Amino acid sequence: MPLVYRTPCPVPSGSRSVIVGLDRDLSTFSTVFSQIHAPPMTLTELQSLIARMYSSKDAARGVEGTFMWLMEEVGELASALREGTHEELAAEFADVLAWLATIANVAGVDLDAAVRQKYGQGCPGCGQMVCGCDLSEKP
Ligand SMILES: [Zn+2]
């Protein structure tokens, strides 16, 4: 999708850096715009995507090996929460979610079904959609 109309005419050299800067801004805008307007990814789609990318490696690693990678990513998320940029934080959330999906694949757990079963009807502790459990309780 062309965002910039380019004329065949030569651009005065003083204007060139402005146009390059504008191109970069529009490119960033285009990337952000396409991410915002992409349809949401479902848990099932995430598990399928991860399975397609990594299933052969995941099978060799097994649940235990995969779990260790998840724990490493959780540690990296902790660091990013403490002192990372927003971009680094988002990347670590993505890694933790990807490794969680990986373990679910290896263990044969359907995340969508599991989350629906456990949380789809409300808080597992009190059964309400807006949790009313005491703060000292886990949920
Ligand atoms: Zn609750």
DSSP string, the chain: ---S---SSPPPHHHHHHHHHHHHHHHHHHHHHHHHTSPPPPHHHHHHHHHHHHHHHHHHHHHHHHHHHHHHHHHHHHHHHHH--HHHHHHHHHHHHHHHHHHHHHHT--HHHHHHHHHTTS-TTT--SS----TTS--
Answer whether residue 108 is part of any domain.
Answer: no
Question: How much is the pLDDT for 32?
Answer: 63
Beta carbons of 101 and 66 less than 8 angstroms apart: no
18 within some domain: yes
CA of 40 to the centre of ligand 1 (A): 27
User: How many domains does the chain fold into?
Assistant: 1
Which has the closest alpha carbon to 73: 47, 46, 103, 45? 103
Query: Quick one: pLDDT at residue 17?
Result: 55
CA of 19 to the centre of ligand 1 (A): 55
Interval 33-58 mean pLDDT:
88
CA 137 to chain centre: 29
Does residue 15 form part of some domain?
A: yes
Distance 123 CA to ligand 1 centre (A): 5
Give the distance (Å) from ligand 1 centre to CA of residue 49.
Answer: 32
pLDDT at 116 over 80: yes
Task: Average the pLDDT over 51-60 and give the result.
Answer: 90
- In this predicted structure, the answer to whether residue 14 has a pLDDT above a threshold of 60 is no
Report how far ligand 1's centroid is from the alpha carbon of 129 (Å): 8
CA of 121 to the centre of ligand 1 (A): 11
Q: How many Å apart are CA 82 and CA 33, to the nearest integer?
A: 28
Residue 31 has what pLDDT?
64
Please report the pLDDT score of residue 110 as a whole number.
97
Q: How far apart are CA 11 and CA 92, in angstroms?
A: 43
What is the rounded distance in angstroms from the CA atom of residue 35 to the CA atom of residue 29? Answer: 10
CA of 138 to the centre of ligand 1 (A): 9
Q: Residue 31's domain spans which residues?
A: 1-38
- How far, in Å, from the CA of 111 to the mean position of ligand 1? 21
Confidence bin at 15 (pLDDT 50/70/90): low
The model's pTM is 0.70
Residue 122 CA to ligand 1 centre (angstroms): 8
Q: Answer whether residue 5 is part of any domain.
A: yes
